[in-house]
Amino acid sequence: MTDINAFIDDKVKNNDVFLFMKGSPDFPQCGFSGQVVQILSYLGVEYGSANVLESEELRDGIKAYTNWPTIPQLYVKGEFVGGADIVREMFQAGELQSHLQNAGIAVKQTA
């Protein structure tokens, strides 16, 4: 396993909810990352994040890790949930809230 894969693996497996994004939760640097941050914030979910713009190795590594071409990427309990479109659709349907609660993640608000 390469160093970047080990880093990604560590973040995904040691955080209940983790978001690989462009920018930071306080300053998202793309609209899609911003949407996922807004959804997680609205739900009151605690999560870790990594800014893929800080490292080309991380940006390429996360895409290879999941075989998913876009960022952001959301993980819950080590499982890849999806990117912005999937997260938004799940949220709007109430599926994201259920998925988080079923994984033992506290959700403060429901849509």
Cβ atoms of 62 and 71 within 8 Å: the answer is yes
Q: What's the pTM value of the predicted model, to 2 decimals?
A: 0.94
- Asked whether residue 30 is marked as a ligand-binding residue, the answer is yes
CA-nearest of 27, 35, 30, 18 to 84 is 35
Q: What is the pLDDT of residues 58-70, one digit of tens each?
A: 999 999 999 999 9
User: Does 111 have pLDDT greater than 50?
Assistant: no
Q: What is the pLDDT of residues 10-21, one digit of tens each?
A: 999 999 999 999
Place of tokens 């876009």: 70
How much of the chain, in percent, has pLDDT values that exceed 90? 95
Burial zone of 33 (CB within 10 Å; 0-12 exposed, 13-18 middle, 19+ buried): buried
Q: What is the mean pLDDT of the chain?
A: 95
Cβ atoms of 19 and 74 within 8 Å: the answer is yes
User: Does 97 have pLDDT greater than 80?
Assistant: yes
- Domains in the chain, CATH or no CATH each: 3-102 (3.40.30.10)
